[in-house]
Structures are given as structure tokens and as C-alpha cells.
Amino acid sequence: MSGDGPDVDVASLEKLGEGYEAEIFAWEDGQALRLFREGHERSIEPERIAIPAALAGGIPAPRIGEAMSLGGREGSIMERIDGENLLDLVGRKPWLMPREAWTTGRIHARLNALPAPDGLATAHERVREWIGNVEVPPHLAAIAEEALAGLEEGDRFCHSDFHPGNILLEPNGRRVVIDWGFCAAGPIESDVARSTALLWLGEPLDPSPALRLITRFFRPIATGLYLRAYRSVARFDTELMWRWVVVRAIEHLAIVRAISPPDAGIPDPVAGVEELVAHAQRRAER
């Protein structure tokens, strides 16, 4: 870190956006400051490893600058991306969902084709850390551990949070992938499974009633298009992917319980997780 940072009051900065882990503020010279919320600093180092590797591999991501401390919080100076995330875009214009689901799958396949950069945790380590440190129903924790024990590790570049809300569409049509703090090394099926679980279970942060309704209605359609688009670029083992969905769905429950702001109004997803786990187990046995 770069010491205590500049003498700037965070409250005086223009907020450009926010997520579960961090807030984005306008910064000098047309840049942005990604400032992590208290307790989420663990994502800084993976992000600083992952973004340069993604850019070197041709994946659109915001360029990352110096690390910084401000107001007792840690963060990084980054390229400012002026764009709308695809989830909000589809919320306003639902007819664009097929196009954006297809684009999401193709970008994801290109990322997973890259080798994971040195220094990232493995997908196994990430899952065990989340489930082991957050209260999860014991029967689900046991299912996850049993499933994970039978899954091999891998060396592909996994974003581990790849979904439409983490892709920004700039006015010039460029799509930029953001939020790289969960990145890991693993098999491609583990990352496809994570995105599948997110498309089935994820809830927008502070959504409008219309967006929440659209999100739920389009889940199966968007998931199917995303998987077809991914396969148009790279093949994956479908049975193995569904075995990973069992694990990733339970991990999702742990993550939501760990990082959701208490006032976000996001319902506990345990019932949906149990439903998806049962569905994934059936698919994996076919």
C-alpha cells in the first residue's frame, strides 16, 4: 500500500457505482478509485494479479494503477470506465437479453482459455474458505465437501464472479469485465458452473421491482443462451460442470450471507440453493 494516502474526505468524492465489496469514485485525471468496504480487503491482491494478466491475454478490463489507502479503507486507482452494466441494460431493454447473454458466454470462454496467473488461490481453496467460514446448513456443507473431494483441480484463469452485472458496455460498444477480486485457478467447468449458479440464483444489488421481476423471468433463457455461446467458442464437460454447480450453488449461499449489506433487502437464497443442488445432482447423473 502507498501509506495513508492523500488527505481527501471520501464523502466529498463523486460516487460512480458500487457493489457488494467496493465503491467506485471519480478520481483525478479522468481515473477512478475503487475503494473496498471494510472487511473486504482480501480481494485487493487477487485483483492486482488478475487484471494485468487478463489485459495481456486480450480480455477487456480496466487498467489498474497504484494501490491506495483512503479514510482507513484500501483500494486501487483504476481506469475509469463510463458504461452501463449489462444487467441494468437488460433491465431497461429486455429485448437485448439474447444478444448480451450470447456475448457474455463468448467473452467468458476466451478468458477461461487463458492459463491462470501465478499467485491466485485455487477454486478448491476459494470454495472451502467461503463454506468453512460462514454459517451454512450442515447438510449442504457436507454435500459440498463430498462433491468437492471428487473434483480435480485445474490451471485455467477463472474469474469466479462472471455475470452480466460485472460487464460494462461503453458507448463505443466495447464491453469491459470488472470485479476481478475473486479470481482463481481451476478447471473451466468450475467457472462455468459458478456463472450458471449466479444466473440461476443471483439477485441485483438494490434492484427496482421491474428489474427483479425481469431477472427471475429470464433466468432459464439467459442461462441457456450463455451456455450455448460459451460452447460456440470452447467445449467443456457438461457432466463435470453440473457436478461443480452442486458445489458452486452452496458456495453462493455462503458468499451472499457473508457479503450482502444488511440493508440491501436481498433474501436468503437457501431454498433456491437446495433446489438448484437437487437439479444439478440429477443432471450430473444422466
Question: If phi over 0 gives left and psi between -120 and 50 gives alpha, with beta otherwise, what is residue 275?
Answer: alpha
- DSSP element (H, E) containing 166: none
* Model pLDDT for residues 63-101, shown as the tens digit of each residue: 999 998 888 888 999 999 999 999 889 888 989 999 999
Where in the sequence is the domain holding 17, given as residue range(s)?
10-79
Specify the number of domains making up the chain: 2
Residue 83 and residue 17 in contact, taking contact as beta carbons nearer than 8 Å: no
State the Cα–Cα distance between residues 80 and 23, nearest whole angstrom.
13
CATH of the domain at 40: 3.30.200.20
pLDDT, average across residues 112-136 = 95
7-55 confidence digits (pLDDT tens): 677 888 889 888 777 889 999 888 999 998 877 778 889 999 999 999 9
214 occurs within a structural domain: yes
Q: Is 5 among the domain residues? A: no
Give the per-residue pLDDT at 278.
96
- pTM for this entry: 0.90
* Position 181 pLDDT exceeds 60: yes
For residue 161, give every residue at least 6 positions away whose Cβ sits within 8 Å of its Cβ, in sequence order, or none: 179, 181, 182, 194, 198
pLDDT for 207-263, tens place per residue? 566 666 666 777 888 899 999 999 999 999 999 999 999 999 999 999 988 876 555
**Same domain as 186, residue 95:** yes
Are 243 and 173 members of one domain?
A: yes
Give the Cα separation of 180 and 64 in Å (integer). Answer: 11
33-37, 152-156, 199-203 — most confident range: 152-156
Task: Name the more confident of 17 and 174.
Answer: 174
**Residue 220: predicted pLDDT:** 85
User: Residue 286 — very low, low, confident or very high, per pLDDT cuts 50/70/90?
Assistant: confident
CATH number assigned to the domain comprising residue 176: 3.90.1200.10
Q: Which of 132, 158, 133, 153 is nearest to 144 (CA)?
A: 132
Q: Is residue 182 classed as helix, strand or coil in its secondary structure?
A: coil
Domain boundary among 30, 50, 79: 79
Question: Residue 204: its pLDDT value, please?
Answer: 62
SS3 content of the chain, % helix, strand, coil (to 5): 50, 15, 30
pLDDT for position 72: 84
Which string of b and e fits 259-268 if b means at least 16 CB within 10 Å?
Answer: bbeeeeebee
